[in-house]
Each structure stands twice: as C-alpha cells, then as structure tokens.
Structure 1
Amino acid sequence: MKTFKNLLSVLAIAAVFSAGAYAQQDVQVSAIVQSTLAFSAVNNVTFGVITQNTEAVQGANGNTSLTPANNTNASSGSVTVTGNAGVSIAISYNTGVQLSDGTNTVDFTPEVMVGSTTIAQSGTNVTLSGTTGLGTALVEIGGTLDAIATAGTYSTTSGTPITLTVAYN
C-alpha cells in the first residue's frame, strides 16, 4: 500500500508541474489562387517572299525592314497571354530556332516584345493589364532570318519552333 501511495504522490506532483509546460496556438492558413495563365495565338511570323542569299528582318512590333523590299505578305507574329490583372509575369523563350525546308536549315534569331519592352531570351518581367479580374499582355514576335543559300519553302514545322515560357512571379 505504501508503494501505491508513493506512486500516487509522484503522479500528482508530475501533474502539477506539467500543467505549465503545455501551450497551444492556432495558425491560420490562407491562399491566393491565381487564374491559370493562358495563351491565345493571334498571328504567326511570316517573311513572305524574300531573295536568296539575303538576311531578312521582321520587327516584333510590326516594323518591317526586310531586305530587299520584295516582302510579299510579311508580318510579325503575336500571342496574347491572359492571367490575373495587374500581376507580374516572367516571359522567356528558347534559343536555337531554325527553319527548314526538310533538308536545309536556316537560323532565326527571335525579337520578342511586350509594348515597348524588349523581352530578353533569359526572361523579362512584365505586368498584365487591368486592376481586377483578368488582364492581358500582347507578346509580339519578329526577328532576323539568316541568309538562305538554297531556294525553297522554309518553316519551323520541320525545324525548331519558338517556345515562349510564361510564369507568375
């Protein structure tokens, strides 16, 4: 019985001292859910008809300076990015873009812009338009097409396309 009393005494003392060693705190959890970024193609980049062995330039912002001037149907390309209005996004793109006629290739150096902001290949931050709801950014694409030695119809269909990457910051 004495052992039982000692055990009860120890448990009672432990209960008294452990009451202050316990604490509890609630932590609130919240999240801001952004809408999915979406692409919508507007135009493809086209150089139209150009002369063999001549470099051609198609400005991303619609400024065409093709050499020589027989630039039938030339136009810059564009895509619209849609996401949360007023939010910063990072836009980047790949290097190594090539057009091919199925046998021969030619390098294309992209020029990518949003408004007057030139987008670096490694990435540039821009802000989607608007203050509430969904906002957009018009990404314009042009670039320089190296001189082509062999006549033919060249495209990225059988080459290496431009891949734009967009992410929220």
Structure 2
Amino acid sequence: MKSFGLPELRHVTNPRDTTASSILDLCRRLVSIIHKSSKLTEKEIGLGAAQFFVLQKLSDGQSRSVNEIAELTRTHQSSVSVVIKKLVEKKMIASAPAPGDARKLSLRLSAKGKKALESSKIEAVQDRLLTAIDRLSAEDARELERLMLIVLSELSPAEQPAPLFLED
C-alpha cells in the first residue's frame, strides 16, 4: 500500500490506545450533542443553547438577580452576565434596578421571552446533561468530576470561570 510519505498506520492493540480512542469518541459525541442542540434552539427561537438555558431559568415568572441566575445555571456570575446582556439586548429579559439596592439588577422574563419559551418544545441541553449526572451515584459523580479535572488540567492548566456552553 502506498504511504504518500506519511507514517504507516498501525492497528490499535494497546488497551490504553483503545480506551483513549473511546474516550475521544465520547467527547466528540458530547460536543456534537451540545452543538446540535444549540443549532436547534437557534433555528427554532433564534437563541443559542446558553441563552435558551438562561431564559428557561426565568420561566417561573420570578425576578432574579445575576447571582441567582448564576446559581440556577451552575455557572460563574461573570459568565452568565455575558449571556444576560445579550438577552436584554434582544428584549427577551427585562432589566431594572433591584428594589432596595439600585446597584443590583432585577431580571425577569419579558413578554417576548415568554412567547419564545411558550413556542419552544425543546429542553435545554444543559438540563438534560444535569439530569444525566444526577442519575449517577454520588461516588460515580465525584469520580467523573475528578477524572475530568485531571484531563482538563492537562489541556488548560490555568483555572478560570468556564463560560456557558457555546457562549464565548
């Protein structure tokens, strides 16, 4: 077989190679699921996955602060602020000074945001992922977290708040 100057491919026989290939495939599948979900929400209601996730957290009609939304989305306040700003610009969220503390914002779903949620039949991919993680035993969830931290520290050793999915 002609190699075109490339090294000859070898068959994977080392079990670690097989495991690494499987893990890489699982990562690709996860990224694909998140990407497809974001494209679907963009097509259906004009919002990316991160914006849709935040919007859903206001669906109960309650006014919330940025910090409360960060808690509900399990995201750092600085990351969720970027998404909130975009949703306010799109008039999906109404923003006003918080009663009793004008330094804070009071955020609520606008009529346009409510209409967008009512027209959607989609569950946020982040909620689906959280549900899957919640189904793990506490021990398995901690082990998954531990292993992911090891892998991610090899990829990007500097810790910084992670943005919401597909929201950079």
TM-score, normalised to structure 1's length?
0.21
Task: Looking at secondary structure, tell me which structure has more helix per residue.
Answer: 2
Q: Which structure has the greater CA radius of gyration? A: 1
TM-score, normalised to structure 2's length?
0.21
